[in-house]
Amino acid sequence: MTSKFATICKKCGGQGSMTIRIEWRLDDEKHGTGESTWLIDCGQCGEVEYL
């Protein structure tokens, strides 16, 4: 799942190039349990920031 939103990268100052993503890690596929990690990454410099 990804979506773009307007924000400024703290590392390079790039504006409007940040993408928010959710990474899922399943502990048990049968029951669908696990955890998700929210992060944003910059399309210009590649900086990743975990939320």
Would you state the pLDDT for residue 5?
58
Give the total number of structural domains in the chain.
Answer: 1
Would you state the pLDDT for residue 1?
52
Spatial separation of the C-alpha atoms in residues 4 and 24, rounded to whole Å: 19
Query: Which stretches in the chain have pLDDT values below 70?
Result: 1-6, 16
Report CA 49 to chain centroid distance, whole Å.
Answer: 7
What lies within 8 Å, CB to CB, of 2 at 6+ separation is 19, 20, 21
pTM: 0.56
Would you state the pLDDT for residue 9?
85
Kindly state the tokens that stand for 39: 């992060």
Spatial separation of the C-alpha atoms in residues 25 and 37, rounded to whole Å: 8
Would you state the pLDDT for residue 31?
77
Would you state the pLDDT for residue 3?
57
Would you state the pLDDT for residue 27?
82
Give the residue numbers spanning the domain of 36. Answer: 2-50
